[in-house]
Amino acid sequence: MKTYSDTFDVVPTDLDDLNHVNNIRYVEWIQDISKKHWNKATTEAIRKSMIWVVRNHHISYLKSAVLGDTIQIDTYIAENKGPISTRIVEIKNKNTGELLVKGSTDWCLLDAKTFRPKRVPEEVHKIFFD
């Protein structure tokens, strides 16, 4: 499996009323890193022929991030089974290495024209596992 990573700082718009990163922001980060990984790893032709929709998210919030923290997000595909791809996302404090949030998302692959579920093709599987 191939890991994709991104790093950035927590900014004021990421915070909630308790002055730590809002839980909804973590969900946005999970979706953003997933899209970035897909766009970086695949060709335009592949992206035009298939799309992903979220089937479910399982998110564990372990520690809080606050203004000025540097965040490192790592993501990888854990498994493909039929049209379902399970993606893991780990959000850490880059300076301390502490795991803040761990997410597991089942994404369902759809044909871009028919919007019907489509088995993850071998060519796509190889992109993320070879």
pLDDT at site 130: 76
Task: Tell me which residue range forms the domain holding 10.
Answer: 4-129
Q: What is the pLDDT of residues 106-123, one digit of tens each?
A: 999 999 999 999 999 999
pLDDT of residue 2 exceeding 80, the answer is yes
Domain at 54, CATH number: 3.10.129.10
Q: How far apart are CA 80 and CA 87, in angstroms?
A: 9
- Confidence bin at 30 (pLDDT 50/70/90): very high
pLDDT at site 1: 80
Average pLDDT for residues 59-82, to the nearest whole number? 98
Q: How far apart are CA 101 and CA 116, in angstroms?
A: 32
Q: How many domains does the chain have?
A: 1
Average pLDDT for residues 84-110, to the nearest whole number? 98
Q: Are strands 84-93 and 99-111 parallel, antiparallel or unpaired?
A: antiparallel
pLDDT at site 121: 97
pLDDT at site 20: 97
Q: How far apart are CA 125 and CA 30, in angstroms?
A: 20
pLDDT of residue 46 exceeding 90, the answer is yes
